[in-house]
Structure 1
Amino acid sequence: MDKHHSKYQITQLSAGEEYSIELYPKDEVVKAKYIGQGKLEGFGNQHLFISEGKDKNYIAMNDYWLRKKDDGILTYAPISSFSTLRINKSGLGEMLDSENVHYKNLGLRIIRFLESFGEKFD
């Protein structure tokens, strides 16, 4: 095991449970409910979390580097903001309205991923 993995536990997650997630680059910790695991086209296996607040935020965390720290907070080893996708419905709307085809297609892939968990979009 390399130095990045030695201080973290491999994580088993339970659907419906609430977890604390460390987000970068701001070192922000948010609480979010675990929905399940699925494949996001172009990004591989992702764990989906939903945090409720002013806006509903979707957090998709890549399966490969996901770890739990000793204090129970979910993070990555090594730390990388590229391993986490955080988006809300208004952000998805902006993606779909974009004239950039690649950005728009990414929005469509994210919506298909979220719909596979029962989320609804108009």
Structure 2
Amino acid sequence: MSIEEKKNELYSINKRGFGFIRGIEIKREIKDGAASTFEVSISLSDIDGNYLKLVAISCTDISIGNINNMLFASIDLIDISSHQLEGSKYKVFDAENNLFELTCIDILEARGG
């Protein structure tokens, strides 16, 4: 999927009203004394309580801001593959309220609610 298709997919998610952060899960595998990169799942809700989950794979540089308030996250991404950061293709972030930011190899919509 191209960067423009990814951006349109995220724009569509926001346009459908999914932008309230319901939860953020950060996990990684630790096996044989070595740790893998992180996987970050961001659960987004609309005003009616329906939700979907975005999953970012091979994440680094994870930053989470103040998510205590019910602010609408306007999710955007930029292509950073030309920055020559090994294992990072996208920077994914909240463009409105700085609720989170991360770099990852890919991000996808896991399921709707």
Please report the TM-score for the alignment, with normalisation by the length of structure 2.
0.35
Q: Which has the larger radius of gyration?
A: 1
Which of the pair has the greater relative contact order for Cα pairs under 8 Å at 6+ separation?
Answer: 2
TM-score for both structures, normalised by structure 1: 0.33
